[in-house]
A = this chain, B = another copy of it.
Amino acid sequence: MPGIGIIGYGYWGPNIARAVTEVDALALRAIADPSIPALERAGRRHPSVHLETDWRELIADPSVDAVAIATPVSTHFDIALAALKAGKHVLVEKPMTDSVFKAELLVEEAARRALVLMVDHTFIYTGAVRAIRDLIDNGRLGDIYYYDSTRVNLGLFQRDVNVIWDLAVHDFAILDFLVRSKPLAISASAAAFLPNSPENLAHLSIYFDNGTMAHLNVNWMAPVKVRQALIGGSQRMVIYDDMQTSEKVKIYDRGVDPAAGAKTLREQLVFYRMGEMRAPALSPKEALVTEIEQFVHSIESGERPPSDGESGLRVVEMLAAASRSTVLRGQPIELGNLRNAS
């Protein structure tokens, strides 16, 4: 059975640790964090696990075959690169890195060593997003016209990333999973309302090669929490509301058809379909457990996970393009030009 070590035991690390204990095929071997109180908490919950203050020690541990990295974004690259170089498989918190160049280097390093490099894009392992992908894959939505997401709440203000890198990253990962087309360009607007704080509100438009248009509304200063996406297809439309305890995904048999016979200006342009709505039963399995099972499966089979390093790179590319556009007040930034000719 492969063994895993977790680097970073702050906000998200404990969740990974708990999820690992629920996956039979993986053994939790070590936890590293520079904070002594954090390690004490880790020790109480996982008494038989090796504890380290220095992540380099954890990487050097021969009982550790894979590492999960749950540290601040700015440290992802150094740790992940060291882990790969030590021959460890890597599961890294999202976003994978803070620059496209670093993401490219990690992808190359993993490929060179034939190691699994996987990004913790948790949402694509939820029952809800998987159900939507099935709808798309079996053609029930038809052509995807748009993906329109609102992801707002009060807090958490962070020091090291802005609201795009904190919240829009989820939608970029979902888009990368759902829309089977190349993003061409991004236009984004953002604002920072507090002095010396990162941007806390942003609106992003993403243009895809197949005509799909995505829009993300992210905001740390909203009075209520909203996690909702509207997905419009030529055949059906979906509302994905992650704040609902049940009926997270609603499929509407609604849409418009061009009015074939309309000849004069006064005739109606389109016909409306107003059919039934259906909310499918979703898998109640915790996304993080599904994700770690996928990680183990990829380690053992060599099969690429859906959120592999390439996916992580594409998401970082979109984040970088969006950031650049906000400085230019929405001027569209083309994707594909941000990568290095490495």
Contact = CB atoms under 8 A, between A and B. Distances in A.
Interface of A: 44, 47, 145-146, 148, 150, 152, 154-155, 157-159, 185, 187, 189, 191, 193-197, 201, 203, 205, 207, 211, 213, 215, 217, 219, 221-225, 230, 232, 234, 237-239, 245-247, 250, 252-256, 258, 265, 268-270, 272, 274-281, 325, 328-332
Contacts of A269: 157-159, 194, 197
20 contacts: A44-B47, A146-B221, A154-B254, A154-B255, A157-B269, A159-B265, A185-B329, A193-B211, A194-B258, A195-B258, A196-B258, A197-B258, A197-B270, A221-B255, A222-B230, A223-B250, A225-B245, A246-B277, A276-B280, A330-B332
A205 B330 contact: yes
B221 A232 contact: yes
Mostly, the A contact residues are strand
A238 B222 CA distance: 9
A221 B278 CA distance: 18
Contacts of A237: 221-223
A325 to B, nearest CB: 8
Given A197-B258, A269-B158, A276-B278, A191 B217 contact: no
Nearest to A230: B222
A232 B224 contact: no
A238 B194 CA distance: 19
A223 B254 contact: yes
A234 B223 CA distance: 12
Given A157-B256, A215-B189, A223-B237, A194 B331 contact: no
B222 A205 contact: no
Contact of A189 (B213, B222, B250): B213
A145 B201 CA distance: 10
Nearest to A195: B258
A256 B329 contact: no
A325 B331 CA distance: 9
Given A157-B269, A223-B254, 18 more contacts: A150-B150, A155-B256, A157-B270, A187-B189, A187-B331, A193-B234, A194-B270, A196-B258, A203-B215, A205-B330, A217-B217, A223-B230, A223-B238, A223-B252, A224-B239, A274-B281, A277-B279, A331-B331
